[in-house]
Structure 1
Amino acid sequence: EGPARTEESISAIISDENADLFVTETNNQIIGFVHVLTRQAPPVPIMVSRRYAVLENLAIREGYRRLGVGTSLLKRAHQWALSRKVSQIESNVWEFNEEAITFYRKHGYTTTRRWISRRLPQLIPITPVQRTALRMPQGPWLPNHPHNPD
């Protein structure tokens, strides 16, 4: 479930020409939605610049899962992405969300990278220490090294 989306956030998605929001209703009640958008990877030396789609959010109300609602919304997101001339769609899934991982795998998604994190301990006061100069042996990384062209 989670917090409800505000009217402002939904309006922002709808007015964004690079994003869309599709919903499925039954009995005048939203039972599922998908938020999809396009992104342009920046042209940086370590990455190939590319335009791709992101499945930002796909949620189905409890009680309506495994009835084809998610599949229908996912197909709609794929159609939207193809209409934007992108050839790849990506999404993030929490590691513990085995139901979602199974769903995406069933629809041809594969893991292409892992986003890892670590909780840091609370800050501990550090006693200031005197800085000392560190003498290092010469090497190719130092200006006076004979193999350095400078």
Structure 2
Amino acid sequence: MIIRTATDLSDVCMLADEIATTHHQHRPEIFAPAPGQIRDKAQWSSCITAENGAMFIAEISGQIAGFVTVQIGNTHAISFLQPRIICRIGTIVVAQTQQRQGLGRELLSHVEKWAASKHANEVRLEVFKFNPQAIEFYAAQNFLAQSQIMTKQLNYE
């Protein structure tokens, strides 16, 4: 397996459809159905070209098996917070056929090294409660719950 910085979309959109389908199945009121590769191409392309971000691809035998998107930000403009540099994971995907084989750990390790090279103080991500496998995986990688996002649906006529 190799992990490299993404320079083109190759099979990213196809793999992203896997996570889009899972999210739509659990929360269709939030996530649109996976439409195929065209709709989300601009989204994933922007991750590759982001000024303070990157997309890393995991390949096995020349085939994409996973990817992760990251962005560096900071708290310097928020007066009540300590100044910190934060690496945020936007999306991490491992192909269903490659899960539970260490690829996710390798992607996270790569992110941590990249974040450290950017002098980040921490790595953050958001995970939905409907994904207990991901929550367990992140906990096993020493991620701790820092906050909880709560929502209330509003219905207007």
The TM-score, its normalising length taken from structure 1, stands at 0.74
Larger Rg: 1
Matched, 1:12 2:46: yes
User: What is aligned with 2:151?
Assistant: 117
Consecutive unaligned residues of structure 2, counting only runs of 5 or more, are: 1-17, 21-33
Q: CA deviation at 1:42?
A: 4.6
Report how many aligned residue pairs link the two structures. Answer: 122
Q: CA deviation at 1:49?
A: 3.3
User: What is aligned with 2:90?
Assistant: 56
Matched, 1:22 2:56: yes
Consecutive unaligned residues of structure 1, counting only runs of 5 or more, are: 124-150
User: What is aligned with 2:13?
Assistant: none
User: Which secondary structure state, in structure 1, belongs to the residue aligned with residue 86 of structure 2?
Assistant: strand
Q: CA deviation at 1:43?
A: 2.3
Question: RMSD of the alignment, in Å?
Answer: 1.7
User: With CA pairs under 8 Å and 6+ residues apart, which has the higher RCO, 1 or 2?
Assistant: 2
Q: Distance in 2 between matches of 1:9 and 1:119?
A: 26
Contact 2:89 2:124 in 1 (8 A): yes
- Structure 1 stretch displaced more, 33-42 or 8-17: 8-17
Q: Distance in 2 between matches of 1:14 and 1:89?
A: 19
* Aligned partner (choices 30, 50, 67) of residue 33 of structure 1: 67
Q: Distance in 1 between matches of 2:150 and 2:111?
A: 27
Q: CA deviation at 1:41?
A: 2.1
Q: CA deviation at 1:12?
A: 2.3
Q: Structure 1: which 4+ aligned runs deviate by more than 6 Å?
A: none
User: Which secondary structure state, in structure 1, belongs to the residue aligned with residue 87 of structure 2?
Assistant: strand
Q: Distance in 2 between matches of 1:82 and 1:32?
A: 21
Higher helix share: 2
Q: CA deviation at 1:36?
A: 1.1
Residue deviations 1:55-105 (CA, integer Å, cap 9, x gap): 111111111100011011110011110010112110000011101100000
